[in-house]
């Protein structure tokens, strides 16, 4: 049996700052199978991007350090690896797409050179072949007029086209895992639809495992197979996408879904809002981090952190109220 | 209902180093007292420029903007101040729209000071405004950096409400906010409208938010309105191919509905407003485009009751 493309176990990343230690990622476990898309959802500051950067080993130390857990990429734990070994793995076995395509590209290097650089670093192809491969990749990501864009600079392209270039670079070496961090947040809605369709097509063609980080539940519903909901650095719920939207178990998930307008709702319906806001990582309440905002919070929630339980087969939730119901 | 705001063939032009940009190209619409009109479109379509033109923050190059029946173009001095009392704006970026060196109390009081209110009356009004937007009276002495994005947006709303405006132009007011906080601010805007009774021009690229809050919706593309109609008609029977494409592209926060719908994804990207297509501005991306569309710009005409669309083929 081949190994699962990505398996994260009990990952802990701590930020060591002057204001104290902050547990940015606090015991995250998840696995992504070949051809599967797992959405990592939550509001700003919940640790979703830091989780992705930890998996890629891209966080600067100091202040960030992985203090525990493992990240198995095709069976190999990459947490103990040194930077040199990581350079070989990033871009080759695991690719990443960032939110802001303009700043992910070098403004003074042509598109062709930026893609060719990735290709040459990992494949041993020469300059000439790498150029041909860059052209082929641009065609593959649906760049209009691909041949002519090779010699363009990023500022000559629109945001959507730049994101296509970033995607071309991310898939250049056919990685088995792709991490997309808010890849369409900066794009207009019609271009977002194009890029989402492109990512789905590329994933299906290559059978990539994909982690899709987003705060937009609409995008989650359109792309994900499974969803991991994070709050204050911890996973609070995990479920198949249909189950999650049909019956969110964690009060935070239910709040997020209630707060998102859906088409066809009656005019005048109030959105369900979650009172308060996401707590700062250096001022987390004891017990469940969501308790101060939670309508179902009990005495126990303020004292003790709930751990993940399995209320129904195939689902995970970290909530005393839900666990109490199931028991 | 009487019209509070009437735009008649409004044009806004910018001269840039790269040439002239026709940011708003002949927009006509009206907004009734107590109504929320959503203005949607993608970046660069001119929706924010149009909002600014209504406040005379950018000059129009042709056409007329009337508020309460009076043309705003010739206003100056006291009359212009009076216009800005009637029409206020809430901005997208809650970090950039408050003076970081002014206390919240001073920022919210500023419009009142400019309007010549007495000290005691100002203090009382500021407390009331802060309580309307759900902030404690202690917030007065604090500075913007002590507040989160959602709270700062509340401060901006309190300031906009200070002088009982008749119309508030909301320019992407919730786009920078997290989901749970976004819902709080949307609910607040709706509650305030019920309480105070002003109108909103709600500018947003987020269709789900506009569908939630608007009574009527205008869809803009490259400086022109391509369709305008009641919220229900726009979502149930979109007429213009661009409106249909926009609705098809918007993600739906429901996996079953998302899978069930048939969607045609619009190809291509927005043309540059520096070099807009001839004829119908949408023809370069339109699945229905014919030869005529490249030459002749369609005008906005009535399609059934209360809906207007600009397309040769509906």
A215-270 pLDDT, tens per residue? 999 999 999 999 999 999 999 999 999 999 999 999 999 999 999 888 776 656 78
pTM of the model: 0.88
Instruction: Please give the pLDDT value at position B154.
Output: 94
Query: For residue A173, what are the contacts with CB-CB under 8 A and spacing of at least 6?
Result: A91, A92, A95, A118, A119, A122, A123
Question: HEC states along chain A?
Answer: CCCCCEEEEEEEEEEEECCEEEEEEEEEEEEECCCCEEEEECCCCCCHHHHHHHHHCCCCCCCEEEEEEEEEECCEECCCCCHHHHHHHECCCEEEECCCHHHHCCCCCCHHHHHHHHHHHHHCCCHHHHHHHHHHHHHHCCCCCHHHHCCCCHHHCCHHHHHHHHHHHHHCCCCCEEEEECCCCCCCHHHHHHHHHHHHHHHHHHCCEEEEEECCHHHHHHHCCEEEEEECCEEEEEEEHHHHHHCCCCHHHHHHHHCCCCCCCCCCCCCCCCCCCCCCHHHCCCCCCCHHHCCCCCHHHHHCCCCCECCCCCCEECCHHHHHHHC
Determine the residue among A161, A241, A263, A295 to mutate to test chain B binding: the one whose Cβ has the most chain B Cβ atoms within 10 Å. A263
A217: chain B residues, CB-CB within 8 Å: 179, 253
| Residues in B 92-131 with any Cβ partner in A closer than 8 A | none
Mutate to test the interface with A, among B255, B260, B262 (most CBs of A within 10 A): B255
- Taking the Cβ of residue B231 and every Cβ of chain A, the question of whether any pair is shorter than 8 Å is answered with yes
Is the Cβ of B210 closer than 8 Å to some Cβ of chain A? no
pLDDT of amino acid A102? 86
Model pLDDT, residue B167: 96
pLDDT of amino acid B107 = 95
Closest approach of chain B CAs to the CA of A290, in angstroms?
13
A280 touching chain B per CB within 8 A = no
* CA separation for the pair B178, B140 (Å, rounded): 24
Q: What is the reported pLDDT for A178?
A: 96
What are the residues facing A16 on neighbouring strands? A21
Q: Which residues of A touch B287 (CB under 8 A)?
A: none
Q: For residues B18 and B120, what is the distance between their CA atoms, to the nearest angstrom?
A: 52
Judge whether A102 is closer than 8 Å to chain B, CB to CB: no
Whether residue B237 lies within 8 A of chain A, CB to CB, comes out as no
- Asked if this assembly's ipTM is beyond 0.85, the reply is no
pLDDT at position B259, please? 86
Rounded to whole angstroms, the Cα distance separating B209 from A261 reads: 6
Strand residue runs (E) in B149-282: 167-171, 199-204, 216-221, 224-230
User: Is B180–A274 a contact, with Cβ atoms under 8 angstroms apart?
Assistant: yes
pLDDT of residue B181: 87
A185 touches chain B (CB under 8 A): no
Which residues of chain B carry a pLDDT beneath 70? 1
Q: Check CB contact of A82 with chain B, cutoff 8 Å.
A: no
**Cβ of B249 under 8 Å from any chain A Cβ?**
yes
CA distance A221 to chain B (A): 4
Q: Which of A190, A221, A269 faces B42 most closely, judged by CB atoms? A: A190
Distance CA A110, CA A149 (A): 9
**A73 C-beta neighbours (distance < 10 Å), count:** 22
CA distance B311 to B238: 12
Kindly give the parts of chain A with pLDDT less than 50. 1
* Cα angle: A110, vertex A111, A117; to 5 degrees: 90
Please give the domain boundaries of chain A with CATH numbers for all domains. Answer: 1-93+176-262 (3.40.50.300), 101-174 (no CATH)
Please tell me whether residue B242 adopts helix, strand or coil conformation: helix
């Amino acid at each position: 049996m081949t190994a699962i493309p990505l398996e994260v176990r009990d990952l802990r990343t701590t930020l060591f700052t002057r204001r104290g230690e902050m547990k940015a990622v606090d015991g995250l476990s998840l696995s992504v199978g070949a051809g599967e898309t797992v959405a990592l959802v939550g509001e700003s500051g919940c640790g979703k991007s830091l989780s992705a950067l930890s998996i890629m080993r891209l966080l600067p130390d100091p202040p960030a350090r992985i203090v525990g857990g493992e990240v198995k990429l095709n069976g190999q734990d990459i947490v103990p690896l040194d930077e040199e070994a990581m350079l070989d793995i990033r871009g080759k076995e695991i690719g990443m797409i960032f939110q802001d395509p303009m700043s992910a590209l070098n403004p003074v290097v042509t598109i062709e050179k930026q893609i060719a650089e990735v290709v040459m670093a990992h494949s041993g192809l020469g300059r000439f072949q790498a150029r041909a491969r860059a052209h082929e990749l641009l065609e593959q990501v649906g760049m209009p007029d691909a041949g002519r864009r090779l010699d363009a600079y990023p500022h000559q392209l629109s945001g959507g086209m730049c994101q296509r270039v970033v995607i071309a670079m991310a898939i250049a070496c056919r990685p088995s895992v792709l991490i997309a961090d808010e890849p369409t947040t900066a794009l207009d809605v019609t271009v977002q639809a194009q890029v989402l369709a492109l990512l789905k097509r590329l994933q299906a063609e290559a059978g990539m495992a994909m982690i899709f980080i987003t705060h937009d539940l609409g995008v989650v519903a359109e792309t994900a197979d499974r969803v991991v909901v994070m709050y204050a650095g911890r996973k609070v719920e995990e479920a198949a996408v249909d189950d999650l939207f049909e019956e969110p178990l964690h009060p935070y998930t239910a709040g997020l879904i209630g707060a998102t307008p859906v088409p066809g709702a009656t005019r005048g319906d109030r959105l369900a809002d979650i009172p308060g806001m996401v707590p700062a990582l250096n001022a987390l309440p004891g017990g469940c981090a969501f308790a101060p905002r939670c309508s179902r919070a009990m005495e126990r929630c303020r004292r003790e952190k709930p751990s993940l339980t399995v209320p129904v087969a195939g689902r995970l939730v970290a909530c005393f109220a839900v666990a109490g119901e199931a028991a | 209902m009487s019209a509070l705001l009437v735009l008649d063939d409004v044009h806004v032009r910018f001269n840039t180093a790269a040439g002239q940009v026709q940011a708003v190209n002949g927009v006509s619409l009206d907004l009734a007292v107590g109504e929320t009109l959503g203005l949607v479109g993608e970046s660069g379509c001119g929706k924010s420029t149009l909002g600014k033109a209504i406040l005379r923050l950018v000059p129009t190059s042709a056409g007329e903007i009337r508020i309460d029946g009076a043309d705003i173009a010739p206003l100056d001095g006291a009359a212009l101040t009076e216009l800005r009392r009637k029409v206020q704006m809430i901005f997208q970026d809650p970090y950039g729209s408050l003076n970081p060196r002014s206390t919240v109390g001073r920022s919210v009081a500023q419009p009142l000071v400019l309007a010549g209110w007495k000290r005691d009356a100002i203090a009382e009004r500021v407390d009331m405004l802060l309580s309307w937007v759900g902030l404690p009276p202690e917030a007065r002495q604090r500075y913007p950096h002590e507040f989160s994005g959602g709270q700062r947006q509340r401060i901006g709303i309190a300031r906009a409400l200070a002088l009982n405006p008749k119309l508030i132009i909301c320019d992407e007011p919730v786009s920078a906010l997290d989901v749970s906080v976004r819902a709080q601010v949307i609910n607040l805007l709706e509650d305030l409208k019920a309480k105070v009774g002003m109108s909103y021009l709600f500018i947003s690229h987020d269709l789900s938010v506009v569908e939630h809050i608007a009574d009527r919706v205008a869809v803009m593309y490259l400086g022109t309105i391509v369709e305008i109609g009641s919220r229900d008609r726009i979502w149930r029977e979109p007429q213009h191919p661009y409106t249909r494409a926009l609705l098809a592209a918007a993600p739906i926060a429901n996996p079953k509905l998302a899978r069930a719908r048939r969607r045609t994804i619009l190809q291509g990207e927005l043309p540059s407003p520096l070099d807009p297509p001839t004829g119908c501005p949408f023809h370069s991306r339109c699945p229905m485009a014919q030869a005529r569309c490249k030459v002749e710009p369609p005008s906005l005409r009535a399609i059934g009751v209360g809906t207007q669309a600009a397309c040769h083929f509906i």
